[in-house]
Amino acid sequence: MGILSKIFGRNTDEQQKTGGMEDFMTLIRVYFQAVMAADLGITNLAALPDLRVFKQTLHVPTQNNKLGVGEKSRCKKMLKEIYGMSDDFTKEIDQSIRRRCKKPQDVQTYMIQFSAFSQDLMMLTGNLMKFKLRLPGFFKKALYTMTEKTINDIFNKNDYSDAGVLKSIVAIRQYNQKLGFSQRWVTDFVYHVVMLDKKEKQQAQQKKKKKKLNILQKRLHFV
């Protein structure tokens, strides 16, 4: 089981390896909460549940008597080493939070907005890309280009015939006006989630095939 699965108490087969999609989203939330704690002077860990578990389980020391500083550095390092996220990616998170969270009371609103934004974004991206997502994961450059084009359409294209799609696009644009992420950041975020999802599905398929093979071998053994 992966380190993050252990940290957050998950013991399912789907979370056997560190580096999965759920672990990625967990680290993103931890990073958000670490930045908020450091920038806003939050000292109550109960208000930042993901950061609390991360800090206590990995025994991350508090730096300069300020919650969030050491945790932010540790989380940033993990995002870079496990997922290859660039400094620009985490820098945009810093900038977004500093612009939108001026006081501790802003934290909950921000996190709710980001949660709704990311959910709507992934659902719409999956709908718009459809068959393109069937492309094998080793075509990374092609998948990134497709993701980049889809994100560009979401932010700039207006001639959609499907009313449901248009409604989702309006909501995503409104959320991002509040959050302030660049198209590049959104593209990188969506691309990594897509690739991790494809990786997990591939592992599940391989596990299923291996199970069937084992059953067949046992049957042949008794023939």
Task: Give the residue extent of every domain in the chain.
Answer: 1-101, 105-223
Q: Are 172 and 120 in contact (CB under 8 A)?
A: yes
Confidence of residue 21 (pLDDT cuts 50, 70, 90): confident
Strands (E), 153-208: none
Residue 14 pLDDT grade (very low, low, confident, very high; cuts 50, 70, 90): very low
Which tops the pLDDT comparison, 15 or 61?
61
Residues pairing with 66 in the sheet: 63
Task: Using only the alpha carbons of the chain, give its radius of gyration.
Answer: 20
Asked whether the predicted pLDDT for residue 218 surpasses 70, the reply is no
Q: How far apart are CA 189 and CA 89, in angstroms?
A: 9
In this predicted structure, the answer to whether residue 81 has a pLDDT above a threshold of 50 is yes
179: Cβ contacts below 8 Å, ≥ 6 apart? 96, 100, 110, 113, 114, 117
Residues 6+ apart with CB under 8 A from 142: 135
Residues forming a β-bridge with 43: none
Residues 6+ apart with CB under 8 A from 39: 68, 97, 98, 101
- Kindly state the tokens that stand for 23: 């672990």
Distance, in Å, from the CA atom of 128 to the CA atom of 40, rounded to the nearest integer, reads: 38
pLDDT tens, residue by residue, 169-217: 999 999 999 999 999 999 999 999 988 988 876 655 555 555 555 554 5
Let me know how long the chain is.
223
Q: How far apart are CA 177 and CA 105, in angstroms?
A: 20
Which pLDDT value is given to residue 124?
A: 95
Confidence of residue 15 (pLDDT cuts 50, 70, 90): very low
pLDDT score recorded for residue 208? 56
Q: Which pLDDT score, from 0 to 100, does residue 1 have?
A: 40
Among residues of the chain, what percentage have pLDDT more than 90?
68
Return the percentage of the chain with pLDDT > 70, whole number. 78
pLDDT value of position 206: 54
Query: Measuring CA to CA, which residue among 148, 109, 120, 108 is closest to residue 132?
Result: 148
Mean pLDDT of the chain: 86
Residue that the structure tokens 């596990």 belong to = 207
Cα separation, 25 vs 22, in Å, equals 5
Stretch 141-160: mean pLDDT: 93
Among 3-17, 25-39, 144-158, where is mean pLDDT lowest?
3-17
The owner of tokens 């094998």 is: 136
